[in-house]
């Protein structure tokens, strides 16, 4: 998965590990919930929409959009990830609706024309960037008009607190996470930026986005007792997560925060 501003080496060498993670109930839940919230904000039909998936990884989200009729550009700095995405598109029979682009998202404005996309997906990318705001400022210029949108998914600081306390039984880590700007990335190793919902919203607004909705992703599924099978009860857990993720009090403590935002009207006026 593309990680601007950070060495791509861990993602080059761990593409298979990431693909395996997405097949686990935990990984599937993150993908499925994020896609469901995205679909709620898209038109009833996405046929002929042009989408950009920044840090596309294995292409799971992009391929789903292509299957619904969208034309999707998949951007990633990791060639092994793009290989997995190409295979996924081929297996789904949507190669004619998919363009693979090898490049660093830090250079969006030199990679793509302005106002080229109706939808931008930026899931689990910003938390690996030292300074996410320049990327968001570039992304807003890629959107076609004020009906176009971006979906951003990031690690939620409050979720790290609960994970440390409930899942890891590490009270010291839970306390530290209350104010930590960075957490530990268990899949790749190294650090991962932690966000708050209000901080993410402010960041998007500074980049000239207008936030339209915010949801929680994986609010309880990580903490269910082992007696509940994540596989056998997957659909039931998913539906409960959907109900909780739409309620601010539960979304505030989810493992991830997903924000849907549009290009601000002021940007459009300035572009005319």
| 2 domain-assigned | no
pLDDT at 267: 66
Residue linked to tokens 């500074």:
206
**What is the DSSP secondary-structure string of 122-189?**
EES-GGG-S--HHHHHHHHHHB-STT-EEEEEEEBHHHHHHIIIIIS--HHHHHHHTT-SEEE-TTT-
Q: Whole-angstrom Cα distance, residue 40 to residue 215? A: 11
Q: What is the overall mean pLDDT for the chain? A: 92
Q: Give the number of C-alpha atoms closer than 13 A to the C-alpha of residue 19, restricted to the C-beta side.
A: 15
Answer yes or no: is pLDDT of 13 > 50. Answer: yes
pTM passes above 0.95: no
pLDDT at 30: 97
Confidence of residue 2 (pLDDT cuts 50, 70, 90): very low
| 97 domain-assigned | yes
Range 101-106 average pLDDT: 94
Answer yes or no: is pLDDT of 74 > 80. Answer: yes
Confidence of residue 271 (pLDDT cuts 50, 70, 90): very low
pLDDT 10s digits, 219-269:
999 999 999 999 999 999 999 999 999 999 999 999 999 999 999 987 654
Confidence of residue 270 (pLDDT cuts 50, 70, 90): very low
| 124 domain-assigned | yes
> What is the domain range of residue 143?
9-158+188-263
* CATH number of the domain within which 83 lies: 3.40.50.150
Provide the token pair at 193. Answer: 């930026």
Q: What share of the chain has pLDDT > 90, as a percent? A: 84
How many structural domains comprise the chain? 1
Provide the token pair at 136. Answer: 């968001």
pLDDT at 185: 86
Residue linked to tokens 């998919």:
98
| 211 domain-assigned | yes
Four-CA torsion 12, 18, 19, 21, nearest 10 degrees: 170
Q: What share of the chain has pLDDT > 70, as a percent? A: 93
| 183 domain-assigned | no
pLDDT at 44: 84
Q: Report CA-CA distances (Å) from 23 to 29, 113, 137, 225, 259.
A: 9, 34, 33, 20, 24
pLDDT at 139: 97
pLDDT at 80: 95
Confidence of residue 272 (pLDDT cuts 50, 70, 90): very low
Q: Whole-angstrom Cα distance, residue 67 to residue 130? A: 34
Four-CA torsion 36, 48, 261, 28, nearest 10 degrees: 30
| 176 domain-assigned | no
| 42 domain-assigned | yes
| 170 domain-assigned | no
């Amino acid at each position: 998965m593309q990680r601007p501003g950070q060495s791509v080496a861990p993602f080059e060498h761990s593409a298979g590990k990431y693909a395996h993670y997405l097949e686990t109930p935990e990984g599937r839940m993150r993908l499925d919930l994020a896609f469901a919230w995205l679909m709620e904000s898209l038109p009833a039909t996405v046929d002929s929409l042009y989408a950009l998936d920044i840090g596309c990884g294995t292409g799971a989200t992009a391929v789903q959009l292509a299957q619904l009729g969208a034309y999707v550009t998949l951007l990633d700095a990791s060639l092994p990830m793009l290989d997995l995405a190409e295979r996924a598109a081929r297996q789904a029979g949507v190669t004619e609706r998919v363009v693979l682009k090898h490049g660093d998202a830090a250079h969006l404005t030199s990679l793509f024309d302005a106002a080229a996309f109706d939808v931008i997906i930026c899931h689990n990318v910003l938390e690996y960037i030292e300074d996410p705001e320049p990327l968001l400022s570039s992304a807003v210029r890629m959107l076609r008009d004020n009906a176009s949108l971006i979906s951003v998914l990031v690690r939620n600081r409050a979720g790290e607190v609960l994970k440390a306390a409930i899942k890891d039984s590490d009270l010291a880590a839970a306390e530290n996470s209350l104010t930590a700007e960075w957490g530990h990335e268990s899949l790749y190793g190294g650090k991962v930026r932690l966000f708050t919902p209000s901080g993410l919203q402010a960041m998007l607004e500074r980049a000239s986005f207008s936030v339209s909705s915010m949801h929680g992703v994986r609010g309880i599924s990580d903490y269910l007792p082992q007696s509940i099978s994540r596989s056998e009860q997957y659909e039931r857990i998913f539906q409960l997560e959907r109900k909780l993720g739409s309620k601010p009090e539960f979304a505030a403590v989810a493992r991830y925060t997903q924000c849907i935002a549009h290009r601000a009207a002021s940007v459009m006026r300035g572009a005319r």
